[in-house]
Amino acid sequence: MGLYTSNYLKNLASNKRSFINESKNIFLSKATNEREKFDIFLSHSYLDKDEVNGLYSELTDKGYKVYVDWIVDSHLDRTNVTKESTELIRNRLKHSKSLLLAISSKATMSKWIPWELGYVDGKTNNCAILPIAKESSDEKTFTRSEYLLLYPYVKMASLDGFFNSIYTVDSSNYYIDFSKWIRYDKKPEFNFKNIDIL
């Protein structure tokens, strides 16, 4: 499997449902500092909520601190955009090391996505696309258009027997270990011939 699929992420979400609720309760029980640091700001369409639940579990299990608005700041009303809520999101973006855009066929529905992507791109340029394939994980099913072609994308791969590692594809031939990419180390490490794509 190369790309994350909708079914894979939904299965993860259903297996970790109590974990997500627990995370919400932790954030609700303590006043979350607006300057709290995150490794990943997960930009997405709310229509992909089930898949984003799975992504949140996957990335958190790998040791990343992930910001998802309706988990960390569940008090926000997504239907009522105010100056205060916009400022809070801006602070979350500012204090995140990277932005991953979880993109599916529904992603174009969100009006927040271009704004979040543009904000981080202008500040750090540490943005990548995390495609959510409908069924097949084959990369050929993933097409980017317009400005999304400017950004690398994230996929699962195995290297030397380690499965479910995450890599950033920065060109057609090279992969960058995601944990290094997130620390602004953009030097390509692996030629695709040495990596066995799941």
Residue 188 sits in a domain of what CATH number? 3.40.50.10140
Domain count, the chain: 1
Q: In the structure encoding, which two tokens stand for residue 117, read together? A: 């992507």
Q: Rounded CA gap, 141 and 138, in Å?
A: 6
pLDDT confidence of residue 183 = 85
**Cβ within 8 Å of residue 8, ≥6 positions away:** 1, 54, 137
108-125 core/surface letters (b: 16 or more CB in 10 A; e: else): eebebbeebbebbeeeee
Tens of pLDDT, residue by residue over 141-164, are 677 777 888 898 998 875 555 446
Which residues constitute the domain of residue 25?
4-194
Tens of pLDDT, residue by residue over 45-56, are 989 999 999 999
Residue 101's pLDDT band (boundaries 50, 70, 90)?
very high
**Cβ within 8 Å of residue 9, ≥6 positions away:** 50, 51, 52, 53, 54, 55, 58, 132
